């Protein structure tokens, strides 16, 4: 059991969640969502789970637009127990399930859209791998990059994780080549158009949502790992997505969301390019003890489909565990130095 789990299991029955909320009231929580669905599905939050999340936020927290939170932080006047909701990519189910619930609860949100996806020029590469696995005509796959055979049948999620993790380390050209080989090895024809279950929002929907208060930011053009791009490629992804949003909505997006968003997926060169492209802030895909400490690497909590993980994030137990771990590491370091 991790420190975070221990704190949660011991404190929750004794009102520890609300104590943690009070202790961490100055620590804003920025939540990251991707997809909402009617039924349980890998990587998706169900409608009932999302509705439960919103009920907790509405009852116990102060929901604010992310751009307002960034502005408040720059003026050192962040409101207590602030929560900002964000969505990545721009899937159709945001219109079908998420936005109606956000609107009904009067809770603001920001969506970071992959403009090539919304334009219909592409569909996202992790979805391509999942589609190939879900429709596999063979039980296993053998790729040289894997160093052997990978069982797919009955092992779909692990297979997807292994293949996706490898693609994260590859260059853009290598990634495309690997995905073509995955389809071929599994005996699956690559679709001529985006499959219905992976389709994006369209600009008409996005404009309607903007008129009702939705904030829109950029998530690049093609969703690449930005740290692996050349300077020219990086500029095209950052400026191209921004210009597409401006042309299709009339909105000048303030925020940028790093594709994949983990520490290895961006660096100082990328952050400087984001700023130079005209964005005012950027968000990551992992939490941190000081989420607003770097305006161009704002930390977020991934919203998960089990209530325990959500409660630990939203009430502040995850942050307290991070703080405890930092103190523990410092003590160990000092001891090692003194020996």
Residues 87 and 110: beta-carbon distance below 8 Å: yes
> Residue 289: how many CB atoms within 10 A of its CB?
16
> Residue 77: how many CB atoms within 10 A of its CB?
8
Half-sphere exposure of 5 (CA within 13 A, CB side): 2
Q: What is the pLDDT of residue 132?
A: 96
pLDDT beyond 80 at 121: yes
Distance (Å, whole) CA 211 – CA 193: 30
pLDDT beyond 60 at 179: yes
> Residue 339: how many CB atoms within 10 A of its CB?
5
Distance (Å, whole) CA 184 – CA 206: 36
The length of the chain, given as a count of residues = 339
Q: Whose CA is closest to 86, among 36, 46, 31?
A: 31
Q: What pTM was computed for the model?
A: 0.91
| Architecture of the 25-121+199-315 domain | Alpha-Beta Barrel (3.20)
Tell how strand 215-218 and strand 110-113 pair up.
parallel
Q: Whose CA is closest to 285, among 26, 31, 29?
A: 31
Tell me the per-residue pLDDT of 181-204, one tens digit each, with 9 for 90 and over: 999 999 999 999 999 999 999 999
Q: What is the pLDDT of residue 14?
A: 47
Tell me the per-residue pLDDT of 73-103, one tens digit each, with 9 for 90 and over: 998 899 999 999 999 999 999 999 999 999 9
Q: What is the pLDDT of residue 35?
A: 95
């Amino acid at each position: 059991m991790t420190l975070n789990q221990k704190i949660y299991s011991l404190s929750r029955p004794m009102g520890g969640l609300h104590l943690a909320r009070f202790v961490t009231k100055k620590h804003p929580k920025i939540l990251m969502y991707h997809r909402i669905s009617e039924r349980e599905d890998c990587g998706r939050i169900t409608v009932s789970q999302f509705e439960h999340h919103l009920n907790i936020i509405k009852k116990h927290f102060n929901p604010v637009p992310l751009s307002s939170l960034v502005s408040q932080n720059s003026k050192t006047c962040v409101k207590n127990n602030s929560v900002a909701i964000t969505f990545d990519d721009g899937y159709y189910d945001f219109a079908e399930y998420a936005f109606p619930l956000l609107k009904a609860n009067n809770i603001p949100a920001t969506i970071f859209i992959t403009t090539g996806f919304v334009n219909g020029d592409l569909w996202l590469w992790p979805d391509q791998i999942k589609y190939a696995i879900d429709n596999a005509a063979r039980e296993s796959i053998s790729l040289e990059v894997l160093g052997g055979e990978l069982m797919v049948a009955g092992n779909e999620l692990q297979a997807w994780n292994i293949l996706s993790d490898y693609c994260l380390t590859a260059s853009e050209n290598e990634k495309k080549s690997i995905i073509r080989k995955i389809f071929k090895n599994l005996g699956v024809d690559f679709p001529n158009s985006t499959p219905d279950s992976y389709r994006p929002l369209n600009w008409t929907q996005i404009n309607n949502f903007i008129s009702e208060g939705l904030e829109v930011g950029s998530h690049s053009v093609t969703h690449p790992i930005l740290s692996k791009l050349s300077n020219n490629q990086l500029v095209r992804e950052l400026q191209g997505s921004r210009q597409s949003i401006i042309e299709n909505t009339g909105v000048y997006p303030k925020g940028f969301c790093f594709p994949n968003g983990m520490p290895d997926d961006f660096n100082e060169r990328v952050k400087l390019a984001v700023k130079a492209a005209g964005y005012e802030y950027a968000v990551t895909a992992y939490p941190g003890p000081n989420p607003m400490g770097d305006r161009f690497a704002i930390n977020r909590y991934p919203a998960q489909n089990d209530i325990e993980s959500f409660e630990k994030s939203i009430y502040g137990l995850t942050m307290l565990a991070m703080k405890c771990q930092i103190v523990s590491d410092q003590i160990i370091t000092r001891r090692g130095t003194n020996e």
